[in-house]
Structure 1
């Protein structure tokens, strides 16, 4: 079974948010990520890319004030 890894890209660096992401839910403020054990991480931002084949990754673009500057 291949699960995804989530990253946040600030423009200067790509930082790992969570490994073994099994589920993702969107709401108006961002995304809730859940791993196999139900642990939850919330991320504000928008999806920059998703790779289902090679890296099994989701990259979020950091949209917080001052990100990447």
Structure 2
């Protein structure tokens, strides 16, 4: 599968934000995340790093 987990970087630590993301859409100063179950979450953040081989998206506010 090609889904990724999103983590929010807080105080130097990665906190799991959402699992099995298949869509990441830029939206009004942040991103709308959607997973394979149809759950959506909006976050005001920027992409710090994407590790595609490890299926990991790291965001920071």
TM-score (norm 2): 0.88
- CA apart distance, 1:23: 0.5
Q: Which stretches of structure 1, 4 residues or longer, exceed 6 Å deviation after superposition?
A: none
- CA apart distance, 1:12: 3.1
Q: Which residue of 1 aligns with 2:56?
A: 57
Distance 2:41 2:23 in 1: 11
Q: Map of 1:12-51 to 2, 5 A cutoff?
A: 12-51=12-51
Alignment size in residue pairs: 61
TM-score (norm 1): 0.79
Gaps of 5+ in 2: none
Which one has the largest radius of gyration?
Answer: 1
RMSD: 1.1
Distance 1:50 1:12 in 2: 16
